[in-house]
Copies of this chain bind each other. A is one copy, B any other.
């Protein structure tokens, strides 16, 4: 099935808006075994839109369109598509009422000109919009389909998931399934060495998806006509991969490392605090981003100055002088001081040189020490990162969460 995506909007071609819809649609299609073959971006310009629709209709089986369905004068997708199919726009009372009801529910007045959204192509099927008021458009002609969705990400995502994807699934008799293994604390190259030749799990395919903030995600995929058979083969392959890298897997689903950590803490009734120097609040921020983090995350210290390390974490002035703020000794003292001062069960500390300045020959930019401590003692690791300031900060926060996760696993 050849799928083409047309993204519409001057704001994207002017560089004012980063188009994230294409990436989201591409990964959703991949996830369900479909393949996006072409993407094009055109402006709010009837002629360019018409030409691109012509080309797409000639070569693709499915055309997805995003953007330009709203009520303002530059939203021209609806009339342009209707004209492309030689169709007429007709005021539909049911849509008009439905659109009005969306505003009534939010207790706000409809914006000027909202009625235009109820003028709908007579041969198309409206796609209701769960998160907004502009209906989507579905044409099904000569066994080809066109789906037009709004450009607002949440509205597009709702329509894609609830309407477009089920329609696409109807068009195929193939199943496409996959399993996810999320790993942390190991790079892509080392994982690949442990796993060995991917041919061993054929016909299952294996993709490595690395990320600075989330480790390496492995995706095992298989397509076929027999859902049960696919499940069996995938499960075998997953078992094989798991056995070779089990200690690095933190999730077999789309959940984050910080969520895994917070759940482990909560199930053990433990409280966590963090002490950050170069990461400067990044680790705390990742934890607090998770709803419910207050159950286990007690507090964070961003002890950027030496004075703060002394006052908040009881790091000794002598130690800071003799070893320097970026040292294994100070990292340990920060983590132990955090357990003590915050009265928590476990703590992680980070101290390092993020750059671009502040490095020396002995202690270069990218040198980071991370320590984990509980009431009984601690662990310390040295890292050497080679990115820019903020990449080093992100890698440090990730490494600190990995150490914390490893420590928590050790309790089991």
Contacts and interface: CB of A to CB of B under 8 A. Distances in A.
A342 B304 CA distance: 12
A22 B24 contact: no
A341 B312 CA distance: 9
Interface stretch (A41-49, A79-87, A119-127, A240-248): A41-49
Given A15-B28, A304-B293, A43 B48 contact: no
A269 B356 CA distance: 23
B301 A300 contact: yes
B288 A298 contact: no
A180 to B, nearest CB: 14
Where chain A touches its partner, the secondary structure class is: mixed
B302 A307 contact: no
Given A16-B27, A22-B19, A280-B284, A300 B299 contact: no
A363 to B, nearest CB: 15
Interface in A272-307: 273-274, 276, 278-285, 287-289, 291-294, 297-305, 307
A26 interface: yes
Contact of A299 (B38, B297, B304): B304
Work out how many copies of this chain go into the complex. Answer: 2
A380 B229 CA distance: 63
Interface in A21-77: 22-31, 35-43, 48, 55
Nearest to A389: B291
Given A13-B35, A273-B308, 13 more contacts: A15-B27, A18-B20, A19-B19, A38-B40, A39-B41, A279-B288, A289-B389, A292-B357, A298-B304, A299-B302, A299-B304, A300-B302, A302-B302
| 4 nearest CB pairs, A to B | A280-B288, A15-B27, A281-B281, A300-B302
